Amino acid sequence: MSHHPFGNLPEIILASKSPRRQELLKLMDIRFRIILKEVDESYPETLAPEEVAVYIAEKKAHAFDEALTNEIVLTADTIVCIDNQILGKPESLQGAVEMLELLSGKMHRVITGVCLLYQHQLHSFYDVSEVYLNKLSSDEILYYVHKYQPLDKAGSYGIQEFLGLIGIEKIVGSYTNVVGLPTEKLYRALKSLQ
């Protein structure tokens, strides 16, 4: 049996309750355990969108005890951005409808910031994907929002759900980045820590 490329990797702690991030790590054959900490996700208004995603990922990493030296803590934050306006998670179903009306028929950017905390050092990076969404009818938007209730998702949709399947014309960049973890960049970053 061939050896896994991550044979020598320290234990990984995923600081995320996102089932999508957990699934991506499993698909990468990475073993991990989950530890969650509450973090205030506010950020300075002066930051560019790419900086925001990294800032919040690093903030999540800082929440971990200094005592963690032999494990790698993995944190991430995904934001959706249209015309340099950052769209967070919608406050309500009506807010989700309005967000999707804003995205409909346009290109938006999805930015995931990732931070690896290892031996008291932060290793941070981000990836950007351009997502081209077709014009959506109000019926399609209402159906999606009420059936899937995407209140836990930045930009009010999940690419792997109904709206992503029927509405996305094309993506320029990493698909997994839009799901919530840029797996190719993550792989290379983890390899560099071995």
Residue 22 — φ and ψ, nearest 5°?
-60, -45
Long-range own/partner contacts, residues 173-178 (CB < 8 A, 24 or more apart):
173/127, 173/128, 173/129, 173/130, 174/127, 174/129, 175/129, 176/24, 177/78, 177/110, 177/112, 177/127, 177/128, 177/129, 178/110, 178/129, 178/131
Closest to 100 (Cα-Cα) out of 131, 146, 141: 141
Nearest Cα to Cα of residue 183 among 22, 18, 19? 22
The encoded tokens of residue 95 equal: 């807010």
Active site residue 29: no
Q: Which one of 77, 83, 127, 152 is the catalytic residue?
A: 77
Q: 3-state DSSP call for residue 102?
A: helix
**What does the alpha-carbon distance between residue 86 and residue 68 come to, in Å, rounded to a whole number?**
33
Q: Is 22 left (phi over 0), alpha (psi -120 to 50) or beta?
A: alpha
Q: Which residues are catalytic?
A: 77
